[in-house]
Amino acid sequence: MKIRLTFITLLTGIFLITGCTKSSEVIETREEKVVRLLTGTGNKYWHLKEMYVNSVKQTLTDSQLKFTKTYTIDATNTDPLRYRGFFVNSDGFNGTWKLIGSGDALYETITNNPAGPIVIPYLSFNELTADRMDVEYTLNMKTQREVYYAY
């Protein structure tokens, strides 16, 4: 009986010690995860694979099949609560982006358009993984959905 009680006490102690051990792993916020997936560890090239206008799949042209977009984070940004950066695409346009809310969407501005800046105020993420980005926005009364792959 005494051996059994000692064994149960020892086993309970082991469970308590291992169950209460703190990990040194840093927990990533949703915003940090979105930025990491979006920008990668440097330059991540997002390749356009599908496009829908008002839920109708569009046939991509040769130039659209070659279209890429790359996001980078603004290294000069000192505000840890405001994630923002720059983007460039293979059509020669570039601009700025900033994360909206808890990482559910981006606010993009094309800054080098000859006719003036183009603002996409709410580019919402349908899905964002390390190798797939599915985004949607409404512009000029049309809902456009774009699916990208990174490789």
pLDDT at position 101 is 83
Residues 6+ positions from 11 with CB-CB distance below 8 Å: none
The most distant pair of C-alpha atoms in the chain lies apart, rounded to whole Å, by: 87
- Domain-embedded: residue 12: no
Domain around 89: 27-150
Alpha-carbon distance of 34 to 28, in angstroms, equals 10
Alpha-carbon distance of 119 to 130, in angstroms, equals 26
- Domain-embedded: residue 50: yes
Q: Which has the closest alpha carbon to 106: 134, 129, 67, 78?
A: 134
Domain count, the chain: 1
- Domain-embedded: residue 20: no
- Domain-embedded: residue 144: yes
- Domain-embedded: residue 19: no
CATH code of 33's domain:
2.40.128
Per-residue pLDDT of the chain (151 residues; tens, 9 = 90+): 666 656 566 556 565 565 555 666 778 889 999 999 999 876 789 999 999 999 999 999 999 999 999 999 998 887 767 899 999 999 999 999 999 988 899 999 999 999 999 998 899 999 999 999 999 999 889 999 999 999 7
Distances (CA, A) of 11 to 7, 17, 18: 6, 10, 11
Token pair listed for 66: 């070659």
- Domain-embedded: residue 14: no
DSSP label of 114: T
- Domain-embedded: residue 9: no
* Beta carbons within 10 angstroms of residue 95's beta carbon: 18
* Beta carbons within 10 angstroms of residue 138's beta carbon: 14
